[in-house]
Chains A and B, each alone.
Chain A
């Protein structure tokens, strides 16, 4: 994924909190997306960060540090329906480059 790195798989327990990290090359950076994708479905938009800091949307929050080339997606109060792949994507020079995604497994 052109130097966009995120863990391949993670496992967490229902009701818990999980943080999915993403690192990227900073050249040409314009912004960073997070998407959720359930098996066999299209990605669903979660967030788009342009400036440094934390943005919260309900149970999901996304953080960006442009100088460090680092972002994370924080999921709180995990539910079974949160079992999915989470894709980090960088807006770089008018191209959106995706990482390979993190498959999140939720245990009851």
Chain B
């Protein structure tokens, strides 16, 4: 059974461009979350989607947006890229039960470099 998949693995963009990152959750999982991780820090929460609805948003500017599709895959879009957006972008999927998020599994991440 495939785990969480993300594409692309690596990406190089220049300032001002936009980027789209993709994620496919574990089969049966309906919730997808996005995180940004810079070197030496823990992941920072960006968005959480469940059943195509946004359920949570972190402290990121409006340049960051996301959506979830009927098959539960998700895209993260970042517009007007800044040098500071260079980071590892992690997608995580989880099965939402009565207890709320229980086990959350991460994909391998997309390494974004902005030059």
Binding site for B on A (CB under 8 A): 1, 30-31, 33, 35, 41-45, 48, 50, 87, 89, 91, 93-101
Which residue of chain A has its CB nearest to the CB of B46? A95
Binding site for A on B (CB under 8 A): 33, 35, 40-45, 48, 55-56, 58, 90, 92, 99-109
Q: From A31, A41, A98, give the contact of B100 (CB < 8 A).
A: A31
Let me know if B42 and A42 touch, CB within 8 A.
no
Q: From B33, B45, B99, B107, give the contact of A31 (CB < 8 A).
A: B99
Let me know if B42 and A1 touch, CB within 8 A.
yes
Given contacts A42-B90, A42-B109, A95-B45, contact A30 B100 (CB under 8 A): yes
Which residue of chain B has its CB nearest to the CB of A4? B42
Q: From A41, A45, A100, give the contact of B42 (CB < 8 A).
A: A100
Let me know if A43 and B101 touch, CB within 8 A.
no
Quote the shortest CB–CB distance from B91 to chain A (angstroms): 9
Q: Would you mind naming 21 contact pairs between A and B with Cβ atoms under 8 Å apart?
A: A1-B42, A31-B101, A33-B104, A35-B106, A42-B106, A45-B104, A48-B101, A48-B104, A87-B42, A89-B42, A93-B56, A95-B45, A95-B48, A95-B56, A96-B33, A96-B48, A96-B101, A98-B42, A98-B43, A98-B44, A100-B41
